[in-house]
Amino acid sequence: MHQAIETTTIETRGQGLYEISHAVRDFVSGAGVATGLLTVYVRHTSCSLLIQENADSDVQTDLNGFFGRLVPEGMDWLVHTAEGPDDMPAHIKAALTQTSIGIPVAEGAPVFGTWQGLYLFEHRRRPHRREVVLHIIGDA
């Protein structure tokens, strides 16, 4: 059994989806694991992770629009407002999605579907530096 762990930083420019599939593939190819499980974990509470289509950018536009309507800014009943009007909605969006994703590894590569990509989903309006932890365990 072999394992490896790495933390990578993703620079965001504000709300949106940022594909990180390339960083995941690079990590897996250098980890020396042929068959196993990759865990991807984001160390924040106002962004999340998604596996989503990466062939048509309209999907990302629609997801941003959907979450903006589902959890809009300006809900006057929110108590946590000290960090700005987008902060608590960002926490709610993160609670509705995921902060950790498990991805199978086979033949030394993450097993993504044909049109799948892994995304950091930034829920805050301003740029952030997000830390994503990659951990793999399996057989060489």
- Note the pLDDT of residue 58: 97
The average confidence (pLDDT) of the chain is 97
Segment 33-45 mean pLDDT: 98
Q: What pLDDT does residue 32 have? A: 95
Angle at 94 between CA 88 and CA 100, to 5 degrees: 150
Q: What is the pLDDT of residues 49-99, one digit of tens each?
A: 999 999 999 999 999 999 999 999 999 999 998 899 999 999 999 999 999
C-alpha triplet 103, 109, 112: angle, nearest 5°: 50
pLDDT score of 10 = 98
